[in-house]
Amino acid sequence: MPELPEVETVVRGLRDPLVGRVITAAWLDWPRSLIMPDPATFQQQIAGQAFQRIERRGKYILCHLDAFALIIHLKMTGRLYVAPAQTTYGADRWVHFRFDLDNGAQLRFSDSRKFGRVYLTPVPADVVGSLGPEPLEDAFTPGVFQERIADRRGRLKSLLLDQEFVAGIGNIYADEALFRAGLHPLRTADSLTGDEQRRLYEGIREALQTGIDREGASINWYRKPDGSQGDAQKHFFVYGRTGLPCPRCGTSIVRARIGGRSTHFCPTCQAR
């Protein structure tokens, strides 16, 4: 599933072709992915709306229109791209939402597994209001992080995946952050010293920023809006590297199941 770096890359790639454009019509063939409102109301309300700005909140893409916010969650296999109306791409076979624009182009949402989610609402907080702080914003200081983790007791891997704790981290960057911090994924939050809390804070920000700098990880379905791949996957320390040597100590990276999620770590550098 695309995480903060992948979604941020998508947002940046959509701003230039979309901001200022007007949606003239919308088409969909998979109503289950439309969470709000109903399809008829959705098509009626979105027609004539212009893209004012596009931003990210956690793993959500927020397209702020004149009177509404078009909010999209890519889930596992979602792709967003802008294409000339008469042009056909390979990913079009899985397009379930299509937005006609006033310049003859289309915004297409391709989603083979149909797990993606689409919302149209005048109140974005109805969708993203429960998310935790953005880990790369200046307001997310070491002090804020330490306050938030102080009363937590769960396992670190599971805690990092909790979107109400910190927004945008998923399986990939949780593993990378924990490796950078030198912390075992089964350690509990209440076992951390002040120094370890600070290392985890820095590990989170470093892992996510590196992912953004490399324009996301194209491991499975993720592609940038122009169809090209990110290359963050070529620079992972532990994720997807089961059996390969740790880049720090040479110990083989191991894979375990924690909280139902595949987890990668170095048993030496991240001793429990």
Residues noted as catalytic:
2-3, 59, 261
**Which amino acid, one-letter code, is at 215?**
E
> At residue 205, what are phi and psi to the nearest 5 degrees?
-65, -40
Neighbours of 90 (CB within 10 A): 8
Assess contact for 10 and 225: CB atoms under 8 A.
yes
Picking from 145, 118, 144, 104, the residue whose alpha carbon sits closest to that of residue 62 is 118
d(CA 252, CA 243): 5
Round to whole Å and give the CA distance between 56 and 33. Answer: 19
Burial of 130 (0-12, 13-18, 19+ CB in 10 A): exposed
Measured CA distances, 118 to 32, 112, 226 (Å): 9, 15, 21
For residue 82, give both structure tokens: 């802008």
User: In which element (H, E) is residue 99 found?
Assistant: strand 95-101
Amino acid at 269: C
Please tell me the distance from the alpha carbon of residue 219 to that of residue 7, in angstroms, as a whole number.
14
Q: Where are the beta strands (DSSP E) in 171-245?
A: none
Q: What is the DSSP letter of 47?
A: T
Nearest alpha-carbon partner for 167 in 31, 57, 52: 57
